[in-house]
């Protein structure tokens, strides 16, 4: 197969740099790569497959003769430039929240709903990191025993807020240990040695936008609009890797052993579950891995059809960069993404 001409917008960000590493490791056929930015980082040079590439400022003409454009630069940039890329006959795979709730844009986790790629009109959205790891773990169970209700609490790493958040956690930890005052900038309050039950803005219903995303995205991806979902999303002083405590009510009883057997055969999932030796998923151990790890699978003693589990994944990899690569790979393999395959019909 002839290689694809690839463009990456947001190449200098945390997710963009992780994406470049993953792209080097995968088998997507590539003819050329453009590294693009919408900020002051143009002129920076990064390596791809041992070649030094200069990061250029993104302009509409950059999309000429490009087959796939990956967006890692935020919702405002995606809304402005994704339709431009589609009109240039490129397929856009967008990591921002810009199109996730657009009914004309497929929202895809390849282990769950790859068939949705087929009906794209030039743009394919990748979900929120916390949603991705949860649905990868729950979908294999949902297929066999439909889920009626999900209650999830997340413990999310600061890396999802970008490089400034990583630096803020480091600086604050040092200042606190030295007994000095610190002034938060990225978050509303100190994140070092603290937890913040606030991710994104608060909505009128008392939930945050991050929590509402998990509700709406999960229903879209699972094609299950009637699942009852409640989420509490918490920022924790961890550099990489999101953790989730998930309580699931199924249509009929299911034992922890049955769940482990199903998940052991599920794509992208690894079981780490032996409480007798304190063996369970942890974010530090998941960092750098492509898998979603599940452990502490146990019966919900409050409901006959319930299970409780602990889900952990690297939020930069499976939660963002890897999922975008997998969308492209799946689309190419099935013939739904081809050279200059965009329908150029997405409307602003």
Does any domain span residue 341? no
170 and 138 in a single domain? The answer is yes
Neighbours of 339 (CB within 10 A): 17
pLDDT value at position 347? 42
- Co-location of 142 and 286 in the same domain: yes
Instruction: Give yes or no for residue 70 having a pLDDT over 70.
Output: yes
Can you tell me the mean pLDDT for 78-86? 96
Rounded mean pLDDT, 96-109: 97
Helices (H) and strands (E) in the chain, counts: 8, 14
Report pLDDT digits (tens) over 229-263.
Answer: 999 999 999 999 999 999 999 999 999 999 999 99
Question: Mean pLDDT of all residues in the chain?
Answer: 94
The count of C-alpha atoms lying within 13 angstroms of the C-alpha of 20, restricted to the half-sphere facing its C-beta, is 25
Quote the number of domains for the chain: 2
- Rounded to whole angstroms, how far apart are CA atoms 127 and 96? 8
CATH number at residue 85: 3.40.50.720
CATH number, residue 260? 3.30.360.10
pLDDT at residue 1 is higher than 90: no
What is residue 348's predicted lDDT score, i.e. its pLDDT?
Answer: 43
Domain residues for the domain of 64 are 4-126+320-333
Global pTM value: 0.94
Quote the pLDDT of residue 30: 95
| pLDDT at residue 41 in the model | 73
**CB neighbourhood size of 327 (10 A):** 28
Q: Is residue 116 located within the same domain as residue 134?
A: no
- Within a domain: residue 348? no
Do 70 and 153 have their domain in common? no
Tell the residue number behind the tokens 């990064």, with chain if given. Answer: 46
For residues 107 and 100, is the Cβ–Cβ distance under 8 A? yes
pLDDT at 346 over 50: no
pLDDT, greater one: 152 or 347: 152
Residue 156 to residues 234, 243, 314, Cα–Cα distance (Å): 6, 6, 10
Rounded-to-integer distance, Cα 111 and Cα 125, Å? 15
| pLDDT above 60: residue 343 | no
- Tens digits of residue pLDDT in 149-171: 999 999 999 999 999 999 999 99
């Amino acid at each position: 197969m002839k290689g694809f001409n690839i463009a990456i917008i947001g190449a200098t960000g945390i997710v963009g740099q992780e994406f470049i590493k993953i792209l080097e490791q995968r088998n997507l056929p590539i003819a050329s790569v453009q590294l693009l930015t919408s900020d002051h980082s143009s002129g920076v040079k990064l390596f791809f497959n041992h070649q030094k590439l200069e990061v250029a400022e993104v302009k509409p003409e950059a999309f000429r003769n490009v087959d796939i454009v990956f967006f890692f630069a935020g919702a405002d940039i995606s809304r402005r430039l994704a339709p431009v890329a589609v009109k240039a006959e490129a397929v856009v795979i967008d990591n921002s929240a810009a199109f996730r709730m657009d009914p004309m844009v497929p929202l895809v986790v390849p282990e769950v709903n790859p068939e949705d790629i087929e009906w794209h009109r030039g743009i394919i959205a990748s979900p929120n990191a916390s949603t991705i790891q949860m649905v990868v773990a729950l979908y294999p169970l949902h297929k066999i025993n439909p889920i009626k209700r999900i209650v999830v609490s997340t413990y999310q790493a600061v890396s999802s807020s970008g490089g400034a958040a990583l630096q803020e956690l480091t600086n604050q930890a040092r200042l606190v240990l030295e007994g000095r005052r610190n002034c938060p900038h990225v978050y509303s309050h100190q994140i070092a040695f603290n937890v913040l039950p606030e991710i994104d803005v608060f909505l009128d219903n008392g939930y945050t936008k991050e929590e509402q995303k998990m509700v709406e995205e999960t229903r879209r991806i699972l094609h299950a609009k009637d699942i009852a979902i409640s989420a509490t999303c918490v920022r924790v002083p961890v550099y990489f890797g999101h953790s989730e405590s998930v309580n699931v009510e199924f249509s009929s009883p299911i034992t922890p052993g049955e769940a482990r057997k199903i998940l052991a055969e599920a794509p992208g999932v690894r079981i780490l579950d032996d409480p007798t030796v304190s063996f369970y998923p942890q974010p530090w151990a998941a960092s750098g891995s492509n898998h979603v790890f599940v452990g502490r699978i146990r019966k919900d003693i409050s409901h006959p059809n319930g299970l409780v589990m602990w889900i952990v994944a690297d939020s930069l990899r499976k939660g963002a960069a890897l999922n975008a690569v997998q969308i492209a790979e799946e689309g190419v393999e099935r013939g739904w993404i081809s050279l200059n395959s965009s329908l150029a019909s997405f409307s602003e």
